[in-house]
């Protein structure tokens, strides 16, 4: 397909205004967002996105996992659409750009095509994937995982949050459970624009990340059972302290990741201590380990080493332990031709760029299993994300959306 003209660009002001408008929905307490999946704020953000898409002349599809599909017709209605999108749900202390830039960057492409009366052979569909974050309902990328056939829909519907509310019930409650069967849609290609959520692009002074791979992940939920007891009157040799077990396993997770450098990470981000009273020795701790690596062998070895060494820690403290995998995907290699479309778009547009491995997981990691897929990344300030202080520049947002624009319409085939 002919490459789009070098001077074709999106409207950076309109994109930025839309980002700021969406950021008003589900405000955090420190300038970011708390628009968690399947909350009323999530619903409000979906309504705003839907209104904007309809104003841009799109039809909106909705499947049984609440995935949204805003379609702009091509000249060939039978051609498989080019999909572009990301997610609108956020972390509880999330930023304004994680996921949102990819959804609204996709919308900005359609708005620009309308302005310039650009037609493409293939239709273009902008998507909002439900529950990418996996913070309220594990695992991350839940709905794109069902779409890609990695999770059963009934299993997804039965996932429960910290208050015991089921995913399927909450999706129905907010009114965003569609009728469309999940995964029936076939794609010509899928592109996702996302902030890097790491420090590399800014440190290397590059405007664009051409994402060639994504690292793999294991989420292991560990439950330690000890015995509640008085923190004052219980002698040290009589304690069965689940909190001490969690502390020692936290150190083990860190050691395992450090022993697998370069290219491995490990942490415990979520933990619950019971009864969580300041003068009760914790009788129960539940926490989730997050291991990641672009190297499948290392990723597998990290999980295996934890499962081999954690029992000795539990036994030494008299704790019983269970380990339940609650999230996993192998390292990802994105589609060569889609990656090339991204790289040549950056070159044509004159943006500095470098190949990059995504440290974070994304819906594209699952969609890559059912359609040719690639990602575009832009820097974020200090590489900070999953923090309300997450920040990008208007120029970085525009550069990322310009590259996405060119890659998408080149793949969709501009009709003169
Ligand atoms: O966990 C992740 O990598 C993504 O932000 N959900
Ligand atoms: Mn994201
Ligand atoms: Mn995220």
**Residue 267 confidence (pLDDT):** 98
**Residue 7 confidence (pLDDT):** 85
Q: Report whether residue 134 contacts ligand 1, using a CB cutoff of 6 Å.
A: yes
Ligand 1 geometric centre to CA of 197 (Å): 9
| Percent over 90 (pLDDT), the chain | 98
Q: From CA 43, how far away is CA 49, in angstroms rounded?
A: 10
Locate the ligand 1 atom nearest the alpha carbon of residue 197 and give its number: 5
Q: Report whether residue 214 contacts ligand 1, using a CB cutoff of 6 Å.
A: no
**Residue 3 confidence (pLDDT):** 72
Q: Cis (ω within 30 of 0) for the bond into 139?
A: yes
For the question of whether the overall pTM of this predicted structure is more than 0.85, the answer is: yes
Token match 């529950």: residue?
131
Mean pLDDT (whole number) for 295-320: 98
Q: Report whether residue 89 contacts ligand 1, using a CB cutoff of 6 Å.
A: no
Report yes or no: 37 and 363 within 8 Å, Cβ to Cβ: no
Annotate 35-63 with b (16+ C-beta within 10 A) or e (fewer).
bbbbbebbbbbbebbbebbeebebebbbb
| Residues ≥6 apart with Cβ < 8 Å to 43 | 174, 175, 176
Q: Report whether residue 138 contacts ligand 1, using a CB cutoff of 6 Å.
A: no
Q: From CA 391, how far away is CA 16, in angstroms rounded?
A: 12
Q: Report whether residue 390 contacts ligand 1, using a CB cutoff of 6 Å.
A: no
Q: Report whether residue 132 contacts ligand 1, using a CB cutoff of 6 Å.
A: yes
∠ CA 230-234-236, nearest 5°, is: 125
**Residue 2 confidence (pLDDT):** 65
Q: What is the mean pLDDT of the chain?
A: 97
pLDDT tens figures, 195-207: 999 999 999 999 9
Best CA proximity match to 398, nearest among 108, 187, 177: 108
pLDDT tens figures, 41-92: 999 999 999 999 999 999 999 999 999 999 999 999 999 999 999 999 999 9
**Residue 1 confidence (pLDDT):** 56
Q: Name the 3-class secondary structure at 243.
A: helix
Query: Band of the pLDDT at 375, cuts 50, 70, 90?
Result: very high
Locate the ligand 1 atom nearest the alpha carbon of residue 360 and give its number: 3
pLDDT tens figures, 337-370: 999 999 999 999 999 999 999 999 999 999 999 9
**Residue 332 confidence (pLDDT):** 97
413: left (phi > 0), else alpha (psi -120 to 50), else beta?
left
pLDDT tens figures, 274-293: 999 999 999 999 999 999 99
- For atom 4 of ligand 1, the residue with the nearest CA is 361
């Amino acid at each position: 397909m002919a490459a789009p003209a070098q001077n074709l660009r999106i409207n950076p002001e309109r994109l930025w205004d839309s980002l700021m408008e969406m950021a008003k929905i589900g405000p955090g307490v420190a300038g970011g967002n708390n628009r968690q999946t399947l909350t009323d704020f999530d619903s409000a953000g979906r309504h705003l996105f839907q209104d904007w898409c309809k104003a841009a002349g799109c039809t909106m599809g909705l499947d049984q996992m609440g995935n949204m599909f805003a379609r702009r017709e091509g000249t060939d209605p039978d051609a498989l659409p080019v999909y572009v999108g990301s997610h609108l749900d956020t972390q509880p202390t999330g930023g304004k750009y994680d996921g949102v830039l990819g959804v609204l960057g996709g919308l900005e492409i359609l708005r620009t095509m309308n302005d310039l009366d650009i037609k493409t052979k293939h239709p273009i569909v902008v998507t909002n994937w439900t529950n990418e974050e996996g913070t309220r309902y594990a695992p991350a990328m839940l709905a794109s995982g069902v779409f890609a056939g990695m999770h059963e829909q009934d299993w997804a519907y039965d996932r429960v949050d910290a208050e015991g509310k089921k995913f399927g019930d909450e999706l129905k409650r907010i009114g965003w459970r569609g009728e469309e069967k999940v995964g029936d849609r076939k794609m010509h290609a899928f592109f996702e624009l996302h902030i890097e959520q790491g420090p590399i692009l800014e440190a290397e002074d590059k405007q664009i990340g051409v994402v060639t791979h994504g690292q793999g992940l294991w989420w292991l939920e560990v439950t330690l059972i000890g015995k509640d007891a008085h923190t004052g009157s219980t002698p040290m040799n009589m304690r069965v302290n689940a909190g001490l077990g969690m502390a020692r396993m936290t150190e083990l997770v860190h050691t395992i990741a450090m022993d697998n450098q370069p290219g491995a990470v490990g942490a415990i981000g979520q933990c619950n201590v019971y009864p969580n009273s300041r003068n009760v020795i914790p009788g129960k701790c539940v926490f989730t380990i997050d291991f990641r690596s672009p190297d499948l062998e290392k990723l597998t070895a990290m999980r295996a080493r934890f499962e081999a060494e954690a029992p000795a820690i539990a036994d030494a403290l008299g704790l019983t332990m269970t380990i339940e995998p609650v999230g996993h995907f192998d390292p990802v290699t994105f589609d060569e031709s889609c990656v090339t479309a991204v790289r040549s778009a950056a070159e044509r547009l004159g943006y500095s760029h470098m190949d990059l491995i995504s440290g974070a997981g994304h819906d594209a990691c699952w969609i890559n299993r059912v359609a040719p897929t690639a990602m575009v990344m832009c820097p974020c300030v200090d590489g900070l994300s999953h923090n309300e202080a997450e920040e990008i520049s208007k120029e970085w947002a525009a550069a990322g959306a310009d590259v996405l624009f060119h890659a998408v319409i080149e793949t969709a085939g501009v009709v003169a």
